[in-house]
Amino acid sequence: MSQDRGFGVAAGLDVEIAIRLAERCEGLGYSSLWSNDHPAAVGLDTLAAFAEGSERLQLGVAVMALDRHQPTDINHKVEELGLDRERLWIGVGAGFSERALTTMRNALPTLREAIPGVRLVLAAMGPKMCALAGSGFDGAFFNWMTPDFAAGARQHVHAGAREVGREPPPVLGYVRTAVGPDAEERLANEESFYRDLHDGYRNHFARLGEPNGTVGVAEPDRERVQAELSRYAALDVVVVRGLASATLEAMAALAEAAAPEAP
């Protein structure tokens, strides 16, 4: 299976840093750049900076929660920022909605109509959400998975596609990645926050059954980082979610260590 590699950051990265990071990632052979989206910063704004710093990279936000963003508002923001829809992946999820699966199933037709010309990727962790991604979305986006768990989740995506007689869409996913002497601490801090964020994450980490600080890649050097990333063979696109301080030097160093091609 051919595999692409993307690089992802937290929304709100300084615009000048984001522009220069995009230039660097394009030169390193990444296929895409990604931002998350959270109440303090809109991921699409970060994508606009990435667009300014790159010419060919695909741009994705993963994910925009539909309990905070209306589809029409998302489309308005894409228009306002002048983002190229052909380069764009819009990741969506249920956020804190109580009936997440029903919410996302019902939302798909509205999303298609309201945000034309983009690829819609569904945040998916559990079996039913993975199957829904396979049956109707343009991709499944995984988060906080071990390589083995991702392989099982991929099968649910493919099963959902088979059920409706379509080719399975690509499977993408964040792999939290840190490099250097404090890598394990960075991963553990990030993971501990998500483990208790809401019931969806609590249930997911319970299914994983892994100790805190182990779901991702935390290694001292490029060679070890590459070896660990290569284990995520179940993903068509490994999105390296950078755990580094929000400076160009730190982010670029991590991007180089995790790059698909030698810098």
* 199 pLDDT tier (thresholds 50, 70, 90): confident
> What CA–CA distance (Å, rounded) separates 98 from 169?
26
Residue whose entry in the numeric block shows the structure tokens 């990604």: 34
The domain that holds 33 is classified in CATH as 3.20.20.30
Largest CA distance in the chain: 48
In-domain check, residue 263: no
Decide: pTM greater than 0.95.
yes
Beta bridge partners of 173: 142, 238
Domain enclosing residue 53, as ranges: 4-257
- Answer whether 178's CB lies under 8 Å from 186's CB: yes
Percent of the chain surpassing pLDDT 90? 95
Beta strand residue intervals within the chain, DSSP E: 4-9, 32-35, 58-65, 88-93, 119-123, 139-142, 171-179, 217-219, 237-242
Please count the structural domains in the chain: 1
Q: What does DSSP assign to residue 87?
A: G
* 98 pLDDT tier (thresholds 50, 70, 90): confident
Beta bridge partners of 8: 34, 241
Beta bridge partners of 179: 219
- On the question of pLDDT at 232 being above 50, the answer is yes
Written as six digits, the tokens of 183 are 């890598």
In-domain check, residue 192: yes
pLDDT digits (tens, 9 = 90+) for 125-178: 999 999 999 999 999 999 999 999 999 999 999 999 999 999 999 999 999 999
Mean pLDDT score, 102-108: 98
In-domain check, residue 128: yes
* 263 pLDDT tier (thresholds 50, 70, 90): very low
- Answer whether 60's CB lies under 8 Å from 91's CB: yes
- On the question of pLDDT at 1 being above 80, the answer is no
In-domain check, residue 56: yes
- Answer whether 25's CB lies under 8 Å from 57's CB: yes
* Burial class of residue 199, CB neighbours in 10 A (0-12, 13-18, 19+): exposed
3-state DSSP helix/strand/coil % of the chain, to nearest 5: 45, 20, 35
- Answer whether 32's CB lies under 8 Å from 58's CB: yes
- Output b/e per residue, 141-151; b: 16+ Cβ within 10 A: bbbbbbeebbb
